[in-house]
Chain A
Amino acid sequence: MPKRTDIDTILLIGSGPIVIGQACEFDYSGSQAAQALMDEGYRVVLVNSNPATIMTDPMMADEVYLQPLTVESITRIVEKEQPDAVLPTMGGQTALNLTEDVQKAGVWAEHGVELIGVDLDAVQRTEDRQRFRDLMEEVGLDQGRSQTAKTVDEAAAVTRDLGGLPVVIRPSYTLGGSGGGIVRTEDEFERMVSRGLEMSPVHQVLIEECLFGWKEYELELLRDANENVVIICSIENVNPMGVHTGDSVTVAPQQTLTDRQYQAMRDAAIKAMRSIGTFAGGCNIQFAVDPETGRMIVIEINPRVSRSSALASKATGYPIAKVATRLAVGYTLDELPNEITGTSACFEPSIDYVVTKIPRFNFDKFEGVDEALTTQMKAVGEVLALGRTFPESLQKAWQSLEIGYHGLGADRPVPDRDTVRERLEQPYWDQLLHVRHALYHDASVEEIHDVTKIDRWFLRGIESIVEMERQIATHTLDTLPNDLLREAKRYGFSDAQLAFLLAGDLDDDTVRAHRKKADITPSFLVVDTCAGEFPADTPYYYSSYDAGNERPSSDRDKVLILGSGPNRIGQGIEFDYACVHGVRAAQQMGYEALMLNCNPETVSTDFNVADGLFVEPVYWEHIMNVIDHEQPEGVIVQLGGQTALKYARRFKEHGIRVLGTDPVDMDRAEDRGHFSALLEELNIPSPPYGMAHSINEAVQRASDIGYPVLIRPSYVLGGEGMRIAHTPAEVKRHVASILQRTPDNAILLDRFLEGGIEVDVDAICDGTDVWISGILEHVEPAGVHSGDSTAVLPPHSLPANVQDTIRDYVEQLARALNVRGLLNVQLVVHTDTVYVIEANPRASRTVPFVAKATGAPVAAIATRVMLGDTLANLRNEGLLDSHLTGYALKRPVFSWDKFPDVKQEVGPEMRSTGEAIVFTNEMTEEHLAQPYPMRAMTVAG
């Protein structure tokens, strides 16, 4: 069937602020959906409260509503826009739940709005665990034994029936498994059941037979109205059952099932999907397989686009959300082309590489949290790496994580055997690293399998990495045969790892130079959905030391934009938003825009955003490989957060042009000493500060500066390890803890301006002219991290003269730092004096918020300036005009429910995961109400 012509206006619901378990993958799906609907000629009305999204850009839809995701606001939008249909499957569980609420309120029916791409009954069937179980039983699919309970007593009875502990608790109707977990002991039983009951909106939990150690799989399906079904991707969890899929290391395609087992799973998936209802679109199904008996169990179905859909899209190149959207408006799969190969969309991708996803955690932000991984998701982001083999992709994934590793180990001394053994007893975030360490200590695959239950095939893959390590370690760079060097690269070893392993004092640059001389350089291979069977048209690449280059050369001028890597607290979707706009602006200026990023949950890694997409670690060696190959005019580092910025100086040292602000000037802003000298020179007040490298030095500095002092390690993002100390004892305690964690870190001490008002300013400078895009006043007093503050644009309480001073300081700084591009300045207004706290010569978290609030395309303007355009030109084009009337509020959103042991309070360390935008004509008490108490910011607290 071709597309439906009886509908004209379609409402698309986004997923709202980022929370753990529901991140920017839904910006990816929402953007693809909006684009597909617009391309099909529908009138698209889009609603999402998250300003840091590409999907809420004005050009993404005919009408964009940056409104709360509530029944009331949906009702208002429906009344005004009179949509014919609503597509709720692109905005995660949030959009589905909201759609159900609106349904219950009778709004859809009243206004004749048809639900497309979804079967709400199917959603209910999959969410109500008992109904789901019954249904699976009906169609003959095996299930883990389980039963629901509504009270603790009931839960105890059920647990006895199941044969006692351990059991798994899953609250009904929650996101990312909130409140779920494994109960191993009687002690924790009551507490965990009670919490599960509380978390569930229907006060119900499911108690399950514990499937620990079973293998876990996920299949991504697409289905059309004609009952055609294709499996886009199979995913296998390296961590066996017991760890939430979102927290597991996963690989695609599945590796260890025989064809018979896999086809049985495929049959079961199709059967299960058909049994839950009729809908056209995406669906994912999770399975567990008993490694001993092969018994296969259906765990869960999501009849919508999910986090795994984004992963599967990036893993295979198949645009799941886009195709799912077209299916929702009536197309069948056989009518749609596969945009990658030009063949049919109704086929199952075959891939000839291995994809590894590793979750990224932020436990450092949540003191007191249990770091062992359970069925409740704790990861805040993830990385994706492609390699021709599992070892190659696994090592690339570790290089992508951006936590200081150069691969899977082999870059620092190995912990002793006992530590390793202990660490392997439970699944932690770095389990595979400890598997590697155990193999290094001569543990056998069998032994490790016994402890971890990780499939032998994966363990054997890691063992092959360790074997390669040993071979390399017998050489110096001079004795290393080229064949072995090439082989090591095929196992994913970075130059830094090789420098560590080879005898002699080497660094990665030396290894790199040697390697290039030996002509051992990677190729760029196309992600083509078809294992090379057909030529592909899309510019989506990964590097490998196999198979000759597939990236055609071009003589156009190129610009490389570095992405922001995995999401983490303090650096998330906002930077991806900036990158996507950077790509578009560079394209508008006639450049071939290249994008390098490793975060699968993003729009920037969509294959049709950049002219050349490199899904590669945002890691020195891999960036340099792309630069060597592409020879871009320059690199843009201002858009990808601290991830990209940190390479600026090294680029300059290697003669690579950094577009925009010179790295030397960036350093003047980043380096505390230089920056303070500059402030002094400009006569701009700043709180007294000092730097220390030891505890005693820190105490001395603190007394020089005067209490209270703000203490933090230098070079951090998101306020990691930041504390306020009122006494020398507190200084000692906190500095000791920082030095213990990061021994080489310098310690920064600032006088803390208690009771001050914090102000965030975003500006762009073209070298002469300065444009202030937004001044945000924080509602919470200084001391709460800027990312966790409610902020108001424009300032609601600062007098005009103070605002003038702020503007003046920012303009002076921008010129003095020779900024070309973005500058973010943080200031504190304290007893009528304006102090400058810090300046960041890059995009800030608030760029998308300011852009959405004012209507000025901030990131695009910045990119054009970096590429040589002037603010005067842009002003003439009208791009700098603000369309904001009244105020725009940025409200932080937290994911406290994922960390039940952590106190719900805010402080100098950022803990929010997302944000919402609220527009208002006047500021009221309600707007200024603080959602969480201030954390006792002192070290003692």
Chain B
Amino acid sequence: MPSESPATLALSDGTVVTGCAIGQCGTTRGELCFNTSMTGYQEILTDPSYYGQLVMMTYPHIGNYGTTPAENESHAPKASGLIVRSCTNTPSGPKGRSALDAYLAQHGVVGITDVDTRALVRQIRTDGVLNAVIDSTGLDADTLVARARNCPDMAGRAYASKVTTQYAYTYNRDNGPTVVVVDYGAKRSLLDAFAQRGCTVHVVPAATPLDKLRSYAPDALFLSNGPGDPRAMPEAIAHARSALESNLPVLGICLGHQLMALAQGMDVYKMRVGHRGANQPVKNLMSGRVEITTQNHGFAVDAGSLPDQGAVVTHRNLNDDTIEGLRYPQHKAFSLQYHPEASPGPHDSDYLFDAFLEMVPNRAPALRTARHGLAVAG
């Protein structure tokens, strides 16, 4: 049953739909994007890459199993708002999990339920992504549409600075390799992926230059995922270039992948509709195997800009043939557009963390056996 208080969703193209308010009462705006993952709404909401976006879940029932702090991908939700078809306020599962509505309210997230999400998905699929406003304060439709139109475009936004850590910190200490994570909005699962493999993990702010990174005596560098347009981050591109040239093993994921590609002179473009879900098929061109992957990106590396040397495509998306992974033969580096840390999503690509750590010379950490036994390094 719908809650009592109404809410409105207004799109920059003038579409206005009404629904019921969930979470915080207020007004919020951002790029309207949809995610087709049928589970993992809490991980998605707290993924910093969704900063500046209104997340619309295509699966109609959201909130089914409530929320719990252990399923956060950062300390609090980062998405600007949530749009669902049907929000469950009586979650299944053991006691101690709190309802999604209460969780949203607690973290000040404005949301809307009882929205015909499929109709909006169809619209986005046809017309491309657009900006929108969610309001539960009772503003009139014209005002809301105007606000949606004024909403800054995602292209050109360097949002990583909004979600990166303010100060460097140590996430994990262990006797494995030391990995320095450049935090553009890193998911906790990424840090955990290294921690679980016995790594010492230092997390540093996005703007940290290479010489500062070196002060941690790293065995490997990691450029994280994050929100916004990588083309608007010249400093980060320069840092990525120096990271590549550092002779240290470097792994970039999502935004980090795009920054590395830009550093190698490739182009990045904004996709008409991004990839957001947990069912994207990616083929590893070296092994011939297919991984079902978690994805969340609205920008992609332009295959037409692939240099003759300097970068080799290692992974492709089987749906639209977009670049999903690159190897940099002149460096000890590779990068992935998708999310091997999953969370939410399948664990098919977990092996890539092992492959990355195998690039660290003269260290024999307690590595898990690489399931695919695949050497990604050149």
Complex Cα gap A374–B184 (Å): 54
Is B318 in contact with A343, judged by CB distance below 8 angstroms?
yes
Q: Which residues of A contact B344 (CB under 8 A)?
A: 259, 263
**Chain A: minimal CB distance from B51 (Å):** 21
Interface: B85 (CB within 8 A)? yes
What's the nearest-Cβ distance from chain B to residue A251, in Å? Answer: 10
Contact partners of A932 in chain B: CB under 8 A: none
Which A202-254 residues sit within 8 Å CB-CB of chain B? 226-228, 230-231, 253
Which residues on A sit within 8 Å (CB–CB) of B289? 226-228
Query: Does B349 belong to the interface (CB within 8 Å)?
Result: no
Q: Which of A418-469 contact B (CB under 8 A)?
A: 445, 455-457, 460, 464, 467-468
In the bound complex, CA of A391 to CA of B65 (Å): 17
Q: Which residue of B lies closest to A333 (CB)?
A: B290
Interface hit among B88-96, B131-139, B328-336: B88-96
With CB as the reference atom, state the residue of chain B lying closest to A256: B92
Q: Are B65 and A388 in contact (CB under 8 A)?
A: no
Cα A333 to Cα B281 in complex, Å, equals 10
Chain A, residues 257-271, CB within 8 Å of chain B (1/0): the string is 111101100110000
- How many angstroms between the C-alpha atoms of A546 and B120 in the bound complex? 11
Q: How far is the CA of A334 from the CA of B285 in the complex (A)?
A: 11
Which residues on A sit within 8 Å (CB–CB) of B2?
A: 487
Task: Tell yes or no: B277 within 8 A of A by CB.
Answer: yes
- Option from B1, B39, B290, B347 in Cβ contact (under 8 Å) with A267: B347
Q: Are A464 and B1 in contact (CB under 8 A)?
A: yes
Near A by CB (< 8 A), chain B positions 1-52 give 1-2, 34, 36-40, 43
Picked from B43, B280, B288, the residue with its CB within 8 Å of the CB of A259 is B43
Closest A residue, CB atoms, query B292:
A348
B122 touches A547 (CB 8 A): yes
A546: chain B residues within 8 A (beta carbon):
85, 116, 118-119
B345 touches A259 (CB 8 A): yes
A445–B88 CA distance with the chains assembled, in angstroms = 14
Binds A, one of B54-62, B165-173, B237-245: B54-62
Residues of the B chain whose Cβ atoms lie less than 8 Å from the Cβ of A531: 36, 58-59, 118, 121, 277
Q: Report chain B residues within 8 Å CB of A530.
A: 36, 279
Contact A347–B119 (Cβ < 8 Å): no
A548 within 8 A of B: yes
Q: Size range of the interface on B? A: 35 or more
Is there an interface contact between B319 and A457, defined as CB atoms closer than 8 Å? no
Which chain A residues numbered 323 to 364 have a C-beta less than 8 Å away from chain B?
Answer: 332-334, 343-344, 346-354
Given A350-B279, A460-B88, residue A389 in contact with residue B1 (CB < 8 A): no
Interface of B is mostly: loop
Shortest Cβ distance from B43 into A: residue: A259
Contact yes or no, A350 B38, CB < 8 A: yes
The answer, yes or no, to whether B267 is at the interface (CB within 8 Å) is no
Q: Are A256 and B65 in contact (CB under 8 A)?
A: yes
**B339 in contact (CB, < 8 A):** no
The reply to whether the CB of A118 lies closer than 8 angstroms to some CB of chain B is: no
For residue A755, CB closer than 8 A to chain B, the reply is: no
Chain A contacts of B343 at CB under 8 A? 259
Complex Cα–Cα for A464 and B86 (A) = 12
Closest Cβ neighbor of A262 among chain B residues? B39
Q: How far is the CA of A140 from the CA of B358 in the complex (A)?
A: 26
CB contacts (< 8 Å) of A548 on chain B: these are 116, 119, 122
Closest Cβ of chain B: how far from A491's Cβ, in Å?
Answer: 9
- Please tell me which one of the listed residues A334, A353, A533 contacts residue B318 in the complex, with CB atoms under 8 A apart: A334
Smallest CB–CB gap between A527 and chain B, Å? 12
Contact of A535 with B by CB under 8 A: yes
* Chain A residues near B92 (CB-CB < 8 A): 255-256, 455-457
A537 CB to closest chain B CB (Å) equals 14
In the complex, are the beta carbons of A445 and B58 less than 8 A apart? no
Q: Mark B258-302, 1 if CB is under 8 A from A, else 0.
A: 000000000000000100011111010000111010000000000
A391 CB to nearest B CB, Å = 9
Contact, CB under 8 Å: B58 / A354: no
Contact B283 A334 (CB under 8 A): yes
In the complex, A390 has a CB within 8 A of chain B: yes
Is B192 engaged at the interface, CB distance under 8 Å to the other chain? no
Most chain B beta-carbon contacts within 10 A, residue among A457, A464, A467, A531: A531
Q: Is residue B368 contacting chain A, with contact meaning CB distance below 8 A?
A: no
A6 on the interface (CB 8 Å rule)?
Answer: no
Instruction: State whether A294 and B37 are in contact (beta carbons under 8 Å apart), knowing that A388-B85, A532-B121 are contacts in the complex.
Output: no
Q: Which residues of A have CB within 8 Å of B346?
A: 231, 263, 266, 348
Given contacts A258-B93, A533-B36, contact A352 B58 (CB under 8 A): yes
User: 18 A–B contact pairs at CB < 8 A?
Assistant: A255-B61, A263-B342, A263-B345, A291-B94, A334-B281, A348-B278, A348-B346, A349-B279, A351-B59, A352-B59, A352-B85, A455-B92, A456-B90, A456-B92, A531-B36, A532-B58, A546-B116, A548-B122
Per CB-CB distance, the 3 closest pairs between chain A and chain B, nearest first, are A259-B40, A344-B318, A259-B344
- By a beta-carbon cutoff of 8 Å, the part of chain B in contact with chain A is 1-2, 34, 36-40, 43, 58-61, 64-65, 71, 85-86, 88, 90-94, 116-119, 121-122, 125, 273, 277-281, 283, 288-290, 292, 318-320, 342-347
Q: Knowing that A547-B118, A548-B119 are A-B contacts, what are 12 other residue pairs whose CB atoms are under 8 Å apart, sorted by A's residue number?
A: A266-B347, A332-B288, A344-B318, A346-B281, A347-B279, A354-B60, A457-B65, A457-B88, A460-B90, A532-B118, A533-B58, A534-B319
